[in-house]
Every structure is written in structure tokens, then in C-alpha cells.
Structure 1
């Protein structure tokens, strides 16, 4: 009887304890599942944010690549325009030199009075440079003599001739264009530049030097007869100049 009574008391207690344990186990499992779901949600959100950031970075890279490509195209276009400009100006020099190249021969055909023509012709008044023009010209001279930056000097000489046309220093710029081309050496371009000074600006102080250097250039181009004619022209037209002395020396050495 006593055993039955104890069993009746113990069994409900054990059953209650089991229910409590089961309930605790269910609660822990629920909490574990909830935590896992939260971690999964957080991971998904982080992945989405990372993907969004990657998309933004990719868009920025594409934008920068587009700007870089535009700059490359612009640089190529400017380089092409610069080359075209050089070609155009060189052609202008060539065309002008061809138009006036017959003038000395015409003077000789008229009775060999080329020397008298220089002394009797009216000397033109060249536009005198202002301060800004002098400063630009000096900068070019520094490029030539001090820095030996001949390509940059050529570019700036062309710009100077375009910006300050028909001035006293413009003639000098043509002359130094010939000198730089002679140094490089780009002999045909040097011939064109010296021809401009020798034929178009024959009354300018740089003309004797230009005619002499034209003769030197022609000699280097293996045009010996034309070179001698230029040297003789220096002696006849500018007999008191230093260029005439150098031309006489050239003529004497070429005869020997």
C-alpha cells in the first residue's frame, strides 16, 4: 500500500520535471533558430551592401576610363592639329619662296644691276616691336642658344610669326627658323626659311646673313652651282657685310 502511494506521488513529479525539461529544450531550439535566421539576414544584408559598393566602384572605374579615353583622343587631335599646322606653314613658306625666287635672276637679266638695285631701292620701315613682342622673342632665343630645345623653338617661332606678322623681329624669326632647321638638320625647311628673308626682305639687316646661309644650305643639299650663285649675290649686293667676307672665303675654297 505504501509503495503504491509513493509511486502515485513520484510519477507526477517526474512527469512535471520532464515537461519542464522539454519546454526548456524547445525554447533553446527556438532561440537557436531565431539567432541563425538573424545571422542569415545580417549576412544577406552585408552581401547586398557589398554588391552595391562594388557596383558603385565599377561605375566610377568606367567613368574614369571614359574620361581618360576622351583625354587621349583630345591629345591625339591636338598633336595632329599641330603637325597639320607645321605642314601648312612650311607649305606657305615654300609657296612664297617659289613665287619670289626668280626676282634676283630678273635683276641680272636686266643688265646685271642687282647690286645697284639694293642701293637705290627704297628701304621699307619695319614695324618696331613692343615690350611683349621683345619678351617673346628673347624667350625663343633662350630656347635656341641656352637650352638647345630646337623642336620647342621651332614651334614658338611659328607662333611668333603668326602673332607678330611683318615686323622687324618677324624677319629675325624667319632667319632663326632657318638656322634651327639647319642645325637639326632639316635642309629643305632651312632653305625655305632663308629664302623668305633673302627674297622678300632683301633690305632687312638679316638679309646678308640669310643669303649666305641659303648658299650654305644649298651646298649641303649638293646644289653646288646654286650655292655659288648665292655666295656671289652676297658679295655683290652686300659687299661691306661680314656675310660677304664669309662668302668670299667660301668661293675661294670651292675654287681650290
Structure 2
């Protein structure tokens, strides 16, 4: 009996091997199916996310296009905000207040008001006038050196285009002619007169400067 058992052992082992390998193969296939299912699930999620991103990009693109069209069609039709209109009115009121102080010969108060205006509104359409009257205020206060500095600052800002309006330039050069004559500097006065004759030949300030120089002994 023992002999038969030993003889049958190889057959028993041979019959067991295919069963074990089959089970292993089935297990691997099952694992692969699970991985494939997970990959498909992830792929679906990625596609959904891409679709959502595309929708957002499409929305953003259309929104930008609408804003560009709107900004192109409507700029001239838009009315200035109330705050901007009010600011312009404030500028005018503050400038006129400073000028009134000058006319009333309240020179220290006028000086302070013009300085404050220039600080507050450095690019206003009244700023060149404020610089001019500030220079005249210093001149009448007896500080001719400071007056010259202010007038030259005004000229520089007008040349560089920093100020939107420079209608006071002829009068500014006239004041520099006057100050030069006060200091006895005829050569400098003539230099400023030459600038007036070249740049503003028909200006009243040019004629006044000529008369002032001709009257100087």
C-alpha cells in the first residue's frame, strides 16, 4: 500500500499545480480589471474637469469681449462722475479765493493759499496762474529771489508739458525782465526780452517789457 502511495504522489502533485496557477491568473485578472475600472473613473473625472474649465474660459472670453465692445462704443457718451465735476468747481473756488486775497493785499494769506492750491492741484488748468500769482506775491512781499525761483519753475513746467495751460508765460517773462532791471542786470533783462520777442511777438507783455527796458536809464 505504501508503495502505491509513493507511486501516486507525482500524479497528485501534477494535478494540483494547474489549479493553483489558474487561481493566481484569475486573481491577477481581477486586480487588473479593478485598476482599469479606476483608471476609467479617473479619466471620466478629468474629462469632466476639462469640460468645466473650458466652460469657464469660454465665459471669461465672452465677458472680456463684451467689456471691450462696451468700452469702445460708449466712452464719449459717458457723463463725468459727479465727484469730478465737484472737484473742478472746488479748484476754481479755491483759486479765486487765493486771487481775491492777493487783490485785497492780504499777501501772506494769499501766498499760503496759492502754495496750498499748487500742492492740492498740481495739474489743474488753474495751476499755471497760481504759480504766476504766487511769484507776484513774493515779489510784492520783497522776496525777489524767491519770486524768480517761482517764475522759473513755471517756465520749466510749461516747457516739459507738465501743465495743461500756460497762458501766463508772457507775463512770467515780463516779471523776470522787471526783476532783472530792479537788480540792475540789463543784460539778463534783454535776454528775457529776446525770448518774449521770439515766442510771443504780439503779446501785450512783450510790448510792456520793451517799454520798461527803453525807459531804464
Place the TM-score, normalised by the shorter chain, in its bin.
0.5 to 0.7
TM-score by length of 1: 0.47
The equivalent of 2:111 in structure 1 is 154
- TM superposition outliers: structure 1 runs of 4+ over 3 Å: none
Aligned length: 127
TM-score by length of 2: 0.54
Q: CA shift at 1:158, angstroms?
A: 0.8
Structure 2 counterparts to residues 16-55 of structure 1, below 5 A: none
Deviations 1:150-206 (A, max 9, x none): 011111111110000122211111100111111111100111111122333157110
Residue ranges of structure 1 left out of the alignment (5+ in a row): 1-127
1:240 equivalenced with 2:202 (yes/no): yes
Q: CA shift at 1:222, angstroms?
A: 2.6
Deviations 1:60-112 (A, max 9, x none): xxxxxxxxxxxxxxxxxxxxxxxxxxxxxxxxxxxxxxxxxxxxxxxxxxxxx
The structure 2 residue matched to 1:130, chosen from 85, 88, 91, is 88
Q: Following the alignment from structure 1 to structure 2, what is the Cα–Cα distance between the partners of residues 250 and 233?
A: 15
The equivalent of 2:177 in structure 1 is 215
Structure having greater relative contact order (Cα 8 Å, sep ≥ 6) = 1
- Contact preservation (8 Å) 2:134, 2:150: yes
- Contact preservation (8 Å) 2:189, 2:213: no
The equivalent of 2:152 in structure 1 is 195
The equivalent of 1:230 in structure 2 is 192
1:185 equivalenced with 2:142 (yes/no): yes
Q: Following the alignment from structure 1 to structure 2, what is the Cα–Cα distance between the partners of residues 251 and 217?
A: 11
- Contact preservation (8 Å) 1:198, 1:208: no
- C-alpha root-mean-square deviation of aligned residues, in Å? 1.9
